Structures are given as structure tokens and as C-alpha cells.
Amino acid sequence: MLAAALALSAFAAGFLLGKGRESGAEGFQPARTVLLGAQGKTVVVRLGAGDESGNRPMLLTVEGLKRLPTGDYYTLLMTKKGKPVATCGTFNVEDKDRMDVRFSVAYDFENFDGLMLAEYRSSDHKDHPVLRASL
């Protein structure tokens, strides 16, 4: 378990150092960074510090996610005890390998214990988990 955590941390560090400069991450000051997924299908979530109004920026760098059918989309959710409890935002991906997505949320990250990326399917009106990570 420790070896897997170390490997994931090393991958995240390499990802951020090797690709962060190519993305929309320039100038973004994360208070925390969380990696969902592994090589091939990843979402790096950079959580920003709150402003005086309590709004907190989020910058996602997504890689390897498939383009979804019309009417479907990805949803990033905050979790508590493994259950999704707050939506951060929704997005779609194009037919390219990597892209950045920005959100702003008005809640304290300390009230949650994880993140979940889900695929919303219009066919059954449900979110289907794709990736998870602990905060």
C-alpha cells in the first residue's frame, strides 16, 4: 500500500513538473493538489485558497478522458465518507488528449474527505463513478 502511494505521488510530481508549464496552470497558486486516476486517465485538481468572500478557485487538468455522447458530461464532486455530497462543476472533453477546466466553489474543502469524477449519463439520469481520490 505504501509503495503504491509513493508511486502515485512520484507520478503526480512528474506530471505537475513536466506538464504544468504547458497548461493553463501558469499563475495559479494552489493551496492543495490532488491526483485522481493513474497513467492514461488522470485528473489533476489544483485547489486554490479562498478569497475574502469564501470563493475558492479550482483548476483541473484532465488527460485521457473519452469524449462522451451528446447529452452526457463529466461531473466533479466532493465526497464525504465516500458518498458524493457537493458538485464542483461539470464539463465535456474534446477529441484531444489533454485540457484544462476551471471551476469556482463556495465551500471549505476541509468539510470533505475526497473527490470523485463521475460520468453523467442522460440515458438513466445518473452519475457513474470514473475516478476517486482522498483529500
- Summarize pLDDT for 114-133 with one digit per residue, the tens: 999 999 999 999 999 999 99
Contact indicator for 106, 56 with CB cutoff of 8 Å: yes
Domains recognised in the chain with CATH numbers: 2-134 (2.60.40)
pTM more than 0.75: yes
C-alpha cell at 12: 503526480
Contact indicator for 120, 114 with CB cutoff of 8 Å: no
For 19-36, the pLDDT digits (tens) are 444 456 777 999 999 999
Flag the least confident range among 2-6, 79-83, 86-90, 124-128: 2-6
Flag the least confident range among 36-40, 82-86, 115-119: 36-40
